[in-house]
Amino acid sequence: MIAIIDYDAGNIKSVEKALQLLNQKVVITRERDAILKADKVILPGVGSFGDAMGKLRQYGLVEVIEEVVRRGTPFLGICLGLQLLFERSDEAPQIEGLGILKGEILRIPDGDGLKIPHMGWNSLRFPNQGRLFKGLPEEPYVYFVHSYYLKAKEEEIVTATTEYGTLIHASVEKGNVFACQFHPEKSSDTGIQILKNFVEL
C-alpha cells in the first residue's frame, strides 16, 4: 500500500489517480500509524513553502516523515514535496525546512523574457544514475510548475537536471529518499513510467 501524506496540499487527487492507473492500493492520510505501515510514502505538494511547513508541524507530520526516512521506507517528494525536504527556501527565509537533505531552494532568476512561474514541458538530463528513470529515453520531457528551484549541496544525489534561466536540480535520490521538482502525475507516459519505477522499488 502507498500512503499519500495529506497536509492540505493541492495535487493529491492527481497523484492518487496516476497510482490507481498502476493498480496500486492508495490511502490519502495524515494518520501516523497508516503512514508508518505503508510500503511506500509520497509527499505531494502545490503551494507555498512556509504554509506547507506550518501544516506539517500542525498535523505532527514532521516526526512521522523523519521516522519513515529512518526506517528505510521508499519516500517520494513531488514538486513542493521536494523543496520541503531541504534546509531552507527563498520563499520563506525565516522558516526551516525538514532538512532531511542538504541544499536550498532559490527563486528562479528573472530575465531573458522568461515567465515566472515556470509552467510547461522541459527535457531532463541525467548527470547521475537514478532508479526513478530506468527505461526512459535520453532527455525525456516532463511537466513543471514552479517559481523556486533546488540547488542541492551534494552533487552526487542529483539524478536529473533541466535549464530554465539557470541550472535546476530537477530530481534527487539518496538512499530511500527520492524527489522530483516536476509533476510525474502530469507528465504523460514518461511520468507514469517514473511512478512505476518508484512503485517497483
For residue 112, pLDDT over 80 is answered with no
The pLDDT of residue 25: 97
Sign of CA dihedral 9, 152, 108, 164: negative
The domain that holds 37 is classified in CATH as 3.40.50.880
Confidence of residue 111 (pLDDT cuts 50, 70, 90): confident
Using 50, 70 and 90 to split pLDDT, how confident is the model at 11?
Answer: confident
Percent of the chain with pLDDT over 90: 94
Q: Please give the tally of structural domains in the chain.
A: 1
Mean pLDDT along residues 119-126: 97
Residue 110 has a pLDDT of 86
> In the Cβ-directed half-sphere of 34, how many Cα atoms lie within 13 Å?
14
Confidence of residue 179 (pLDDT cuts 50, 70, 90): very high
pTM above 0.85, yes or no: yes
**Which domain does 45 fall in, by range?**
2-199
Percent of the chain whose pLDDT exceeds 70:
100
Residues marked as catalytic: 79, 183, 185
Reported residue count of the chain is: 201
Q: Is the pLDDT of residue 9 over 90?
A: no
Q: Is the peptide bond before 117 cis (omega within 30 degrees of 0)?
A: yes
> Given the C-alpha cell 500542525, which residue does it identify?
58
Euclidean distance between CA atoms 197 and 120, whole angstroms: 23
Cα separation, 4 vs 34, whole angstroms: 10
Q: What is the mean pLDDT of residues 128-156?
A: 97
Under 8 Å between Cβ of 55 and 8? yes
Query: 3-class SS at 115?
Result: coil
> What confidence tier does 14 reach under pLDDT thresholds 50, 70, 90?
very high
| The pLDDT of residue 97 is above 80 | yes
Q: What does the alpha-carbon distance between residue 111 and residue 102 come to, in Å, rounded to a whole number?
A: 27
Rounded mean pLDDT, 102-121 = 92
